[in-house]
Amino acid sequence: MSPIVKLLAQRISLSLLLLLLISVVIFAGTIVLPGDVAQSILGQSATPEALANLRAELGVNDPPVQRYFAWLFGAMQGDLGTALTSGQDIAQALSSRIGNTLFLAFWAAVVAVPLAIFLGLLAVRFKDRWPDKLISAVTLASISIPEFLIGYVLMYFIAVKMRWAPSVAMINDSMSLLEKLHSIALPVAVLTLVVLAHMMRMTRAAILNVMQSAYIETAELKGLNAFQVIYRHAFPNAIAPIVNVVMINLAYLVVGVVVIEVVFVYPGMGQYLVDHVSKRDVPVVQACGLIFAAVYIALNMFADIVAILSNPRLRHPK
């Protein structure tokens, strides 16, 4: 087996193992937490018999290991259980919301990633001159301001004053793609501002690091212009760290949008999670936790795979 296939196989099996471990942690965590689901469903005035009946019905009394495996095998088959509070099937309730969350994250990424990398390249080209400083200042400022504040500020100016985009990002299946994009324009803008700085600065740092190499001097002495040097010779050697930080930010876009979804009343996973955490609906919290963990692990795995594939020494062994 070639070394690169072996490395990739190792990396992927490590991810699966990690996901399994996290499922244990999520399950154990929700058991250890204090509180009583039955109590929170029935309220303070419930009789002890009613509480006992409900607990038996919910299966809370079974041994934890048995409950874990039942839950795990169910999850592997796409059955995430039923929500305690509403009795709804979780997988069904989640499916449209995951779609919405991914839709928002995808369009935020489509805008933010190329923009961040382009700004990073630009900052390298004009290092320590005004364009570099301006880019750094603006992106750092946007990452430093809390995202809900940016959200409300944009809402006030763009939605309320100028009326370019709606302040509430409602979407549904009957809308066309263009209508949907118009609807989510503001949350996409906010998310872009939030993740831009991190990716832009890593692009800048990774490329500047490569710019110290002797082969950059070779390229300069070939008479290439600054952009050719950066784009052809520096960028290919800086891909691994850049992809890494891009993936972490994409993961953030998927799992970290809770606040934005609440601000813009967007029907995504974040809001669904928040609703059910407050009701102590353990199966929903577990399901959401598992999905978020899977997204994080998958994206980071993808970053590592790109890093392995971008290394010519691994791709083309001696």
Partner 1 sequence: MSDTLLKVRDLKIGATVYPPGERPRDIDIVHGVSFDLAPGKVLGLIGESGAGKSTIGLASMAYGRGGVKITGGEVWINGRDILKGSHKDIRKLRGAEVTYVSQSAAASFNPAKKIMDQVVEAAVEQQKFSRKEAEARARVLFAKLGLPDPDNIGDRYPHQVSGGQLQRCMTALALCPEPDLVVFDEPTTALDVTTQIDVLMAIKEAIRDTGVAALYITHDLAVVAQVSDDIMVLKMGNTVEYGTVDQIINAPQEEYTKALVSVRSIEHEEKAPTEEPVLSVRNITARYKGTQFDVLHNVNVDLYPGQTLAVVGESGSGKSTLARVITGLLPPREGEIEFAGRKLSSDLNGRSREDLRELQMIYQMADVAMNPRQTVGTIIGRPLEFYFGMRGAEKKKRIVELLDEIELGEKFMDRYPAELSGGQKQRVCIARSLAAKPKMIICDEVTSALDPLVADGILKLLLDLQKIENVAYLFITHDLATVRAISDNIAVMYQGKVQRYGGKSKVLNPPFDDYTDLLLSSVPEMKLGWLEEVIAHRKMESAGN
Q: What is the DSSP string of 124-145?
A: HHTTTSHHHHHHHHHHHHHHHS
How near is the Cβ of 205 to partner 1 at its closest, in Å? 18
How near is the Cβ of 237 to partner 1 at its closest, in Å? 5
CA distance 317 to 243: 23
> Is there binding between residue 95 and partner 1 (CB under 8 A)?
no
x/- letters, 254..273, toward partner 1 (CB under 8 A):
--------------------
Q: Which is nearer to partner 1, 188 or 216 (CB)?
A: 216
CA distance 99 to 137: 35
Number of residues that bind partner 1 (CB under 8 A): 22
Two structure tokens written together for 88: 């709804």
Residue 128 dihedral angles phi and psi, to the nearest 5°: 65, 10
Closest CA to 122 of 40, 51, 197, 200: 200
> Out of 149, 213, 265, 277, which residue is the one contacting partner 1 (CB under 8 A)?
213
Q: What is the DSSP string of 48-111?
A: HHHHHHHHHHHTTTS-HHHHHHHHHHHHHTT---B-TTT--BHHHHHHHHHHHHHHHHHHHHHH
Q: Which is nearer to partner 1, 216 or 260 (CB)?
A: 216
How near is the Cβ of 121 to partner 1 at its closest, in Å? 16
How near is the Cβ of 232 to partner 1 at its closest, in Å? 8
How near is the Cβ of 10 to partner 1 at its closest, in Å? 15
Q: Which is nearer to partner 1, 178 or 221 (CB)?
A: 221
x/- letters, 214..253, toward partner 1 (CB under 8 A):
xx-xxxxxxxxx--x---xx--xx----------------
Q: Which is nearer to partner 1, 82 or 237 (CB)?
A: 237
For residue 171, give the DSSP letter: -
Paired strand residues for 82: 89
3-state SS string over 214-258?
HHHHHHHHCCCCHHHHHHHHHHHHCHHHHHHHHHHHHHHHHHCCH
CA distance 124 to 164: 34
Q: Which is nearer to partner 1, 40 or 310 (CB)?
A: 310
How near is the Cβ of 113 to partner 1 at its closest, in Å? 21
Q: Which is nearer to partner 1, 62 or 217 (CB)?
A: 217
How near is the Cβ of 4 to partner 1 at its closest, in Å? 14
Angle among Cα 63, 24, 82 to the nearest 5 degrees reads 65
> Out of 40, 85, 96, 310, which residue is the one contacting partner 1 (CB under 8 A)?
310
Binding site for partner 1 (CB under 8 A): 213-215, 217-225, 228, 232-233, 236-237, 310, 312-313, 316, 318
